[in-house]
Structure 1
């Protein structure tokens, strides 16, 4: 276990007064550990944050204080994608740099406490921009443009870190990152295949991508799920925290740009269905072309081969949603919103294949 640096030790004999626990969170067992490792609170309440579609996030409250607990999903756990220790390590490495991310507090690897590893981090107060009406009400067009530009600038800042300089030696295996990503997600697609569900477009992407892998670039931090609704904004629209580090590793940082392109929707129904939020379609946000040009200028990275990364992003998310669809059918998900996951996985395959067919990269065209 990792302890809070300045945390006190709670009285393990205190009466447990945790309220009824949401699925995946046993407050009766977590409370004594929490008192010892985080804060000597009298009681804890817990509530689910978001939809729990991958790693599950809970808000813990006690006497006006709040924290966040993260744990793996309830079923079909994948060691590489649901490793709480990795999330805790990247947040710990970023904390001294001033990068906008929640501060980690304590890590528990003992499954006896909550049936699976978990960690506690600070609760960051602000707006997660998922509701377009709320974003439109709070921020004018000029502010929305600034939000879009800052989303790019924060990513440039993340990609500028030299991993070894912030304690991330050995965090990942950057050599062969792209080849490994293509292979791993192709294998995942095979592992979740069922006779009654076709994945024609994803299968075709799995065939084409290995032939189009570009030359290796200098390794950097890859967030793995970088998008606007994985950020928290303050009242002025500044990004004060980047969330959901479960896919973070070391590798080719342009993978984040391929993913960001996928989420930079401009209002078509298919794009919004995939992205999960139409916020980026509001007036004021920069176009994707403007965002890409800003990243290229500020980072110095050449984006001429971005089609590969965009197709890879569609393929990976398509496989992830296929896996979520399988968990949903097996009853291993928490919260609402899973009914369309399977359809969105198919849309991602179709859209990724369309990008590949139109690409100047010959190998992507098949």
Structure 2
């Protein structure tokens, strides 16, 4: 199986995971540009998930397995639901890369409207509410108290510099680069006062599994997690949260929350503010920031494919179809800045 030496991993599991019993069956759950995830079913009826980096195209600061392991291990004893961590392997000789193993958490991942429709309307409403409650629980944690020490000041400044450099290195040019440069300048000139907390970095329903009643059973994909301003997570969640009737760019697929029954964006923000007691007046900045960041990511991927520096894996046509999405994100980021009086 690509990316996995089943025999070597099984031998490693036998020595590292209490209760593991071979032989095991390995199934690829998710692959592509993100980390690879495999389901492992052992002879004793236990199910585990193994996460490792993709097989190629890995950026120097991306796909850090030790980061994911450190964050889910810190979350495990808290009110933030994560898959119970089992073991971490720092030796790439086992299967070609570092990896970690956690319990496999069954449930519904809200990746698309079809998944959302599998939940009853009342469960959809509860899913929206519980997503916010979990985010509030995450942001209530003291990083030092859960073993995630570090000052990590200047979160917005670091992120702005990182993604601005990424688009310049990726070959984005012309009107698209000019728009992203313009938004970057406005964001950099109006960074709001920042607080310190744990930032998931990719907090959305597609990175969670839900029970039939709509409760979040586990939050996944901690590869972008860091210490910074928690408003970045709320801004990201709101910037991606679609509502029925939202105008979508040509070629874009509707998200799960376009299915009736989920809370609106305003209801999410109101619930977060009431639950946490936080001031959310700077949220427009973080919505604009996250739309700009997403536009940078899409523009960079598009530029690399059109330059022919990525393998021909059938994804290029999808990239071209998402050009409009990237442009809309850039334009909507500028609109958000103008609406907030910052652009």
State the TM-score bracket (shorter-chain normalisation): 0.7 to 0.9
Quote how far apart the aligned CAs of 1:345 are.
5.7
* Counterparts of 2:326 and 2:145, CA distance in 1: 36
2:6 is the alignment partner of 1:27: yes
Q: Name the residue aligned to 1:90.
A: 71
Q: Name the residue aligned to 1:15.
A: none
Q: Name the residue aligned to 2:52.
A: 71
* Counterparts of 1:71 and 1:272, CA distance in 2: 34
Helix, strand or coil: the match of 1:121? strand
Q: Name the residue aligned to 1:250.
A: 227
* Counterparts of 2:320 and 2:87, CA distance in 1: 35
Q: Name the residue aligned to 2:275.
A: 298
* Counterparts of 1:122 and 1:204, CA distance in 2: 45
Compute the TM-score of the two structures, normalised by the length of structure 2: 0.88
Helix, strand or coil: the match of 2:198? strand
Q: Name the residue aligned to 1:14.
A: none
1:26/1:114 contact within 8 Å kept: yes
Query: Structure 1: any 5+ residue segments left out of the alignment?
Result: 1-20
* Counterparts of 1:266 and 1:210, CA distance in 2: 30
- Pairwise mapping of residues 21-170 of structure 1 onto structure 2 (< 5 A)? 21=1, 23-38=2-17, 40-63=20-43, 64-140=45-121, 142-170=122-150
Deviations 1:138-167 (A, max 9, x none): 312x32212111111111111011111111
Helix, strand or coil: the match of 2:41? strand
* Counterparts of 1:197 and 1:311, CA distance in 2: 19
* Counterparts of 1:281 and 1:264, CA distance in 2: 8
Quote how far apart the aligned CAs of 1:33 are.
1.8
Q: Name the residue aligned to 1:222.
A: 199
1:307/1:355 contact within 8 Å kept: no
Higher mean C-alpha displacement, 157-166 vs 346-355: 346-355
Query: Structure 2: any 5+ residue segments left out of the alignment?
Result: none
Quote how far apart the aligned CAs of 1:52 are.
3.0
Quote how far apart the aligned CAs of 1:29 are.
3.0
1:74/1:332 contact within 8 Å kept: no
Residues 211/343 of structure 1: CA separation in 2 closer, same or farther (3 Å cut): farther
* Counterparts of 1:24 and 1:201, CA distance in 2: 39
* Counterparts of 1:49 and 1:200, CA distance in 2: 39
Residues 296/332 of structure 1: CA separation in 2 closer, same or farther (3 Å cut): farther
Residues 28/81 of structure 1: CA separation in 2 closer, same or farther (3 Å cut): same
* Counterparts of 2:237 and 2:263, CA distance in 1: 13
2:298/2:326 contact within 8 Å kept: no
Deviations 1:209-231 (A, max 9, x none): 211211222x0010100111111
Helix, strand or coil: the match of 1:314? helix
2:172/2:300 contact within 8 Å kept: no
Compute the TM-score of the two structures, normalised by the length of structure 1: 0.83
Instruction: Count how many residue pairs are aligned between Structure 1 and Structure 2.
Output: 337
